[in-house]
Structure 1
């Protein structure tokens, strides 16, 4: 214990007893500095309080360092004493298991390295031959694949050309869309120009005028034929558009659920549209019996 006085008022002091506890452990040195003039040393302090004790659980615990075993293996060659026994006076050693070794042809280090170099050259020769064979085989396979691909491409281009010509011929014979009729008019214009050029190059005078009159008459007939065909195609296209529209109106409502499944639902409007679609399709048919047509017409009343 240590007694000291504390100033409480301007002229009064109070004696206080201070209890000093000695630490039960040695604090580590954390560094510090020294005053060169006065020589006083100052140490860095990490803590001034007693460390918190862990509660005793009644179980003896060990840290990792006390449980780890450090082992070190070091090989060591022991001495082995050997000896050789020879035949001499008073001692006989059997030579039945002995082997006779005769020296071979001696060659210098230069000859040895020369043989190694020749062996390496032989190995490199066969290895490079193997690489060359692989390269040639790969080139031959690439050539075969290239030729096969070119043949397939040629067949594909030929087939595409034939399909394109067949589609153009079909479009000219059975024109249905605006592009098909433009193709017909373009072909008609090309034909007119060719005929005009032929007439100008081969005929003169009255024959030339008569040929132009005949050409004009043929052109007018072709234009009229294309016009009639266009009217029929427009009517057919309009009929198809009406059927598509009615079919779309008669389709049930569809939506995609969270699990990816498609849900369909019929409403009163889709059911009515489907009924009207069936009636319209029945009326549009020309080969139905008279009684059925009368029944369909009665449903429209």
Structure 2
């Protein structure tokens, strides 16, 4: 508690008042005012409030200075954050309210951001980090010209060599053979320079625009040529396709192979027969007997055409059978395609495919026509050695046929007399190839179950 100090202001005497003389005349006529007890008490309370407020302000200034000097005197490294702070808050009515503020100390562990270990001494080194902002790179200002008045400087220098001129005079000869006379050219005004620049600019623009136009024309010409070439190419492809289709249709009619080819022949034959019959019956120039004779001739032609179609069927069956056998032998002798880890294929020849290829070559050798006697005997000998690796009825019969053909060749028999024997030998050898016991690769192409096949082949092996 601070006691209030009351000080009474000294009352100034009329002599000490500088305005006393000025108001003297007026004060003489005014009566002196006597202060009442209530007014005297109010003035006294006001003086006490002013004194208390002044003392309070001085105390606050003292506390603030003391606190400021206290924090300035503390070493930051030794400062320990207290758990509670007392904060003074001034309210609107000049009252002071003390509020306690609790401090929560957040303890954070140092994050691990990696490091390395020295293998020689097993010392661990951890990476460090900091929150200090990176220093900005200093870029000095570079200007080609400062925005200031340019200052002229005059500097002199001494030359390494002196020069001078010498005028011609009596007694002195100057050689003028290497002199060069320079005459001034006609004056070139700024208007002429602008006109020359304008003309050259127009010339450059004309050349550039001409180049653009030529390039555009070349592009359009190239597109037109490409379009024409593409059209010609498509027309050529269409023509070739039509020719191939026409040749294929002719081939289908001349050498039919499939059932659809023969159906086309029968349909065209029927259409031709109906057309010719209609013409004969609708003819008014022929008599009844001539019409019957024409119908008989038409029937005879139709019969001949049907016979020709039947012969084509026989030829087609033989060709289809040979083609089927060749595809079968080729499929057995083809190498295996194995997929590698990089999705590419590798062709591998196995012992089974190698065996199948050897048998295919022997079969094709037996089917070759127009061989000499020595070549035919060589083929028969290789076939006999291959077959004699196994002993069964089939192999014994093949060996018997080979010996019979070799004996007939030595006797000089003709090719036509050996045709039936050779067909029988080729069929038996094909049966030998199709047997899995002789050709293991043929097991993949068996359509009959393996157990049933063994039961049926037991008759051959006995």
Fold in common (TM above 0.5): yes
Q: Paired residue for 1:227?
A: 310
TM-score, length of structure 2 as denominator length: 0.40
- Alignment partners' CA distance in 1, 2:80 and 2:274: 115
List per-residue Cα deviations over 1:96-154 (Å, max 9, x = no partner).
xxx9xx99799xxxxx9xxx999999988776665554444433332222223323332
- Alignment partners' CA distance in 2, 1:208 and 1:194: 14
- Alignment partners' CA distance in 1, 2:359 and 2:188: 115
Q: Paired residue for 1:263?
A: 348
Q: Give the CA deviation at 1:24.
A: 1.2
- Alignment partners' CA distance in 2, 1:223 and 1:187: 12
List per-residue Cα deviations over 1:37-79 (Å, max 9, x = no partner).
8563747655469999xxxx9xxxx998798763533654465
Return 63-72 or 172-181, whichever deviates more. Answer: 63-72
Q: Give the CA deviation at 1:241.
A: 1.0
Q: Give the CA deviation at 1:273.
A: 4.1
Q: Give the CA deviation at 1:194.
A: 3.6
- Alignment partners' CA distance in 1, 2:282 and 2:139: 114
Q: Give the CA deviation at 1:242.
A: 1.9
Asked if the contact 1:196–1:212 (Cα under 8 Å) also holds between the matched residues in 2, the reply is yes
Q: Which has the larger radius of gyration?
A: 2
- Alignment partners' CA distance in 2, 1:67 and 1:275: 84
Return 165-174 or 123-132, whichever deviates more. Answer: 123-132
- Alignment partners' CA distance in 2, 1:160 and 1:50: 83
Matched, 1:188 2:247: no
Q: Paired residue for 2:245?
A: 164
Q: Give the CA deviation at 1:251.
A: 4.0
Tell me which of 55, 77, 90 is aligned to 1:24.
77
Tell me which of 140, 152, 155 is aligned to 1:72.
140
SS at match of 1:80: coil
SS at match of 2:141: coil
SS at match of 2:349: strand
C-alpha spacing 1:244/1:133, structure 2 compared with 1 (3 Å): closer
- Alignment partners' CA distance in 2, 1:123 and 1:78: 40
Q: Give the CA deviation at 1:214.
A: 1.7
C-alpha spacing 1:211/1:43, structure 2 compared with 1 (3 Å): farther
Asked if the contact 2:332–2:356 (Cα under 8 Å) also holds between the matched residues in 1, the reply is yes
**Unaligned stretches of 5+ residues in structure 1:** 1-21, 83-98, 107-111
Q: Give the CA deviation at 1:230.
A: 0.7
RMSD: 5.3
SS at match of 1:40: strand
SS at match of 1:248: helix
Q: Paired residue for 2:279?
A: 198
Asked if the contact 1:253–1:266 (Cα under 8 Å) also holds between the matched residues in 2, the reply is no
List per-residue Cα deviations over 1:198-243 (Å, max 9, x = no partner).
3344355423332222222211211121112112211221122123
TM-score, length of structure 1 as denominator length: 0.57
Number of corresponding residues: 246
C-alpha spacing 1:208/1:35, structure 2 compared with 1 (3 Å): farther
Tell me which of 288, 294, 298 is aligned to 1:211.
294
Q: Paired residue for 1:40?
A: 99
Q: Give the CA deviation at 1:185.
A: 2.7
Aligned counterparts, 1:262-281, within 5 A? 262-267=347-352, 270=353, 273-274=356-357, 276-281=359-364
C-alpha spacing 1:45/1:70, structure 2 compared with 1 (3 Å): farther
Matched, 1:148 2:229: yes
Asked if the contact 1:176–1:233 (Cα under 8 Å) also holds between the matched residues in 2, the reply is yes
Asked if the contact 2:337–2:347 (Cα under 8 Å) also holds between the matched residues in 1, the reply is yes
